[in-house]
A = this chain, B = another copy of it.
Amino acid sequence: MSDTEDRILAAALSCFTELGVEATSIAMIRERAAVSTGSLYHHFENKEGLAAALYLRGVQSFHKVQVSALEQGRPQSVVEALVSGHLRWVEVNPAWARFLLESPRPEASNERVKAVAAALREANRAYAASVVGWFAAQRDAGEIRKLPSELYLPVVLGPAQEFARHWVSGRFRMSPTAAAVELSASAWRSLQTCEVGDDIVGTAGRSFS
């Protein structure tokens, strides 16, 4: 990875997070990276390709943190690590977080961007397989509440994700890591098998896929 490419990627990330991908022009990236138009196109196919490459990098970084959380031992520890790891990653990488949370998922219109788009799909698939697979296994082992598989990620990470969206856009002041304490506890509460009120168990037990 040449210095030029790094400068371009950094410039693109900062432009994209400030203005959004669509509102960012090649000229702005070109200028902020101190690179000529020709040089930029020599290194990257496209604005679209640039965004996709960036998106893939961000997603991979995030996935790495998430997947490593699965290595905790007890289910409760894993769930809490998923939530806390999410929020810590957001706080440590605010630009990446903003980019991932506010940019539309890249679509591969262009021929040459398809490789990156395919890599992205594969990364998402592998991530979902790992994490959702882990939840399904715990569920089948009776360690956590029974839910349709699709719902585990929203239930566990939805609050953190929602918090993060507000935080990256400046509407929340509390730091993500401070919020992590409560949000990870909440996540576990909503998944633990209870000695809680029977009515809830009953309701929850009825429908899952």
Which A residues contact B (CB, under 8 angstroms)?
Answer: 20, 22-23, 102, 104-105, 139, 145-151, 153-155, 157-163, 166, 169, 172-174, 178-179, 181-183, 185-197, 200-201, 203-209
Contact = CB atoms under 8 A, between A and B. Distances in A.
Contacts of A169: 105
A32 B146 CA distance: 46
Contact of A182 (B196, B197, B204): B204
A46 to B, nearest CB: 15
B104 A209 contact: no
A43 B80 CA distance: 52
A123 to B, nearest CB: 14
Contacts of A173: 150
Contact of A104 (B102, B161, B191, B197): B102
Given A147-B204, A150-B163, A154-B166, 14 more contacts: A20-B22, A22-B23, A105-B169, A145-B204, A147-B182, A148-B209, A151-B174, A154-B159, A158-B158, A162-B162, A181-B203, A185-B203, A195-B195, A196-B196
